[in-house]
Structure 1
Amino acid sequence: MLETFSSFHPVLQALLAGLFTWSCTIFGSAFVFLFKDINRKFLDVMNGFAAGVMIAASFWSLLAPSIANAEDSGYGIWAFVPAAVGFMVGGFFLRLIDVVIPHLHLNEPEENSEGPKTKASKNLLLFLAITIHNIPEGLSVGVAFGAIVAGAANGDASLSAVGLAIGIGIQNIPEGSALSMPIRAAGSSRLKAFNYGQLSAIVEPIAAVIGAVAVISMAAILPYALAFAAGAMIFVVVEELIPESQTNGNKDIATLSLMVGFVIMMILDVALG
């Protein structure tokens, strides 16, 4: 099956990988049909795990290949420049989205919503927060598959990109639950809560295709694009996932879960890459 997948064009691979990560969110969101709410400790553990996965993916799957590609492209001692520039631009990009799109992080009162003032419902604001979170995940998957054509790829690059998609998909399962269950607990129907949860990740296959097409069309931007995705993901981790996992009395187990997520993603990347 993996050999068949590897025979597809990288843009199609990116689309399928994005659909896979979205399907993991759908699966997690479907837990709302079985449970009414989510245990706080479990949510903190899952947020920590997701943070670990994203930190590891940012380095092993994105920043390290960015520097390696810059070295191969003749940057010499300046090979760090694309990684540094792309990383910072990725963070500022997510900050800009935070400013222009109204949203509300989980477990925050409605008056703490960020972005422009709006009369949107709390459910919609929560949905937008998770959707913003999912954009860099989709981009990172697309850029990783686009690298296969863009010139950074060795023979195992497709497997490395698959490992990245698997890691993001794993952490999308609890993420879907983390959105759908609070919406259900607030009084919405199970179907409505499920739809909010699963639709929050519809941006992932879209962003994956955009990322893949961009780096294939403009191979010179590849090291910048890889680092851009890393910077965007680290912004999400530091602004959202780690604080949410550390403010409810579950610091130690959330931190250990972060380390487990990091190790699992590292193993996936190294074993498959």
Structure 2
Amino acid sequence: MSLKPYYRALGNTGLKLSPLGLGTVKIGRNQGVKYPTGFELPDDNAVRNLLAQAHDLGINLLDTAPAYGKSEERLGPLLKGQREQWLICSKVGEEFTDGQSSFDFSAAHTRYSIERSLKRLGTDYLDMVLVHSDGNDMAILEQTDVYPTLLELKAAGLIRAIGFSGKTLAGGIAALQDGDCAMVTFNLNEQGEQGVLDYAAAHHKGILIKKALASGHVCLQDGQDPVQASFELILRQPSVSSVIVGTITPAHLSHNVTTACQVLARLS
């Protein structure tokens, strides 16, 4: 099974994404997360093997963020010599230190955050950068300098595509007007941001899906395979470029990809 036959465009950016991306919060942080069970951070060898497995299964998108603890710092050395194999999505706005999140959407912090991410990841560009919203989506877009700063950094060649990881319907739609993509919560339990997906489809923008499995909680439901049901709901959406699923378990990764390929084969 491989996702390579099913790569999808990220709107009109020219980027081609695997329909599943690997979320990496679990390699950098196990505090303040909303998964149903606790976990230990994997060692470098385990992460190295997971990345190799993901690549072999056709995944080309890695999702990280400064708010994911040591995720960026760990990925940089482990991806050395592999940069061209991956599309890397990181974020700005949220910091996570000493078990607490804080937010800064100023121009100065945005530039600092991007420079730090480039250094940590050992690269001179980022494929995608999203604003990590604190929930006040419209205030961030209308009253801070984070989006104009990201557009400047994109024009300078440090970023290939910009977007917004928000929490509201209005924020998602507003962010797509000047941005390339949006990251949206969309799963079997939560579909309140359907309008963002519809706007993206009508305006040739890209959509990344977060919490596709409700941070693992849909997997606790009885009945039909919840992973299959989730992917059937999400992947039929025409604007969805990639579904970000975080795992550090090889068996889960394999099952996710196999299930996605089966769904995509039926949809194609």
Give 1 or 2: higher helix fraction. 1
TM-score band by shorter chain is under 0.3
**For the pair shown, which has the larger CA radius of gyration, 1 or 2?**
1
TM-score w.r.t. the length of structure 2 is 0.25
RCO comparison, higher one (Cα < 8 Å, 6+): 1
TM-score w.r.t. the length of structure 1 is 0.24
